Chain A
Amino acid sequence: MTEDLIRSLIAKCSATIKAHAEELTALDQAIGDGDHGLNMARGFTAVAAAVDDIAVLPFGEALNKAGTTLIMKVGGASGPLYGSLLMGMGKCVTDVPRGSQAVAAMLQAGIDAVKARGKSDAGAKTMLDVLIPVQQAIDAGRGIAEVRRTADAALTATKDMRATKGRAAFLGERSIGHLDPGARSSALLVQAVCDLLEGK
């Protein structure tokens, strides 16, 4: 059962990232170094290629291995950041978490790892600006539809933020008015997992 879930998660997430690779790269060309879509697609292609090795593992170890794969294959900062997210989550659980509190605790562990790796926090116009509100919604016991809305609203909110981390930080005020590419990829992944949970 866990194996089927892991296979579905990998297939859904990698298909989503690949389908939006050009959009992510376009967002990154506006305020970053223009490689986010390409890098994420490379990383998730590598995870998908390793699905037979990953899916047979217990859930926590599978997250850890997927995270390591992203770190080794992405080629940009998003590798260690998304890798840390998955590895942080993987360290927090053995099996698939049951119930919103357990899922929220797992996601919080991942967020803590991203904060440490990126030396960042909420409000710096990064992936954390989507992940943190999503975690809070899950922790508050909100349903899938509400989690989706939270992710979309959080992504939109990055548009008016001023970047203080990463390549976009060089742009200062000029980063305002653009969606953050990392926030976009995080929102895409949240929606992909929601799709899966809703059987889409």
Chain B
Amino acid sequence: MNDKVSIVIVSHSADVAKGTADMVRQMVGDDVRVAFCGGNPDGGLGTDVAAIMAAIESVYSPKGVAVLVDLGGAETNSEVAIEMLPDGRGANVQICNAPVVEGAVMAATEAASGASLEAVRKTAEDF
């Protein structure tokens, strides 16, 4: 399955992140690997750099990982998490500037076709 771009969903809310991942799985099945995380290091609303890194690592593919985020802190923390990934993996991970739910579904649909990370990101952002 490493021949397809993976999707990571990052929300301030663990419930939103999980719900979005459920929707994506219903749309594309197991063709595309999907990871999600939500909540701050204490479990409240927010995002957690370590959890974002772990989510990306859990579905990492050299083909690429598209990250969908909700509000500002999720984006900033995702940027940091990508920079902190080991072995230059961050070069194959991109944040999509798209609404988290719609963007994740569109990105996953494109990824299922075997599209490049660039194409997946563009599809999510053009929606």
Contacts and interface: CB of A to CB of B under 8 A. Distances in A.
Interface of A: 33, 35, 38-39, 42, 71-81, 83, 117-118, 166-167
Interface string B58-86: 00000000000001110111011000000
A77 B41 contact: no
Interface of B: 12, 39-42, 44-50, 71-73, 75-77, 79-80
A80 B46 contact: no
Nearest to A81: B76
B46 A35 contact: yes
A80 B80 contact: yes
B79 A72 contact: no
B120 to A, nearest CB: 23
Given A35-B45, A35-B46, A75 B40 contact: yes
A39 B46 contact: yes
Contacts of A35: 45-46
Given A118-B76, A167-B71, A76 B41 contact: no
B80 A166 contact: no
B71 A42 contact: no
Contacts of A75: 39-42, 44, 46-48, 73, 77
A86 to B, nearest CB: 13
Contact of B47 (A76, A117, A118, A166): A76
Contacts of A71: 49, 77, 80
A72 B49 contact: yes
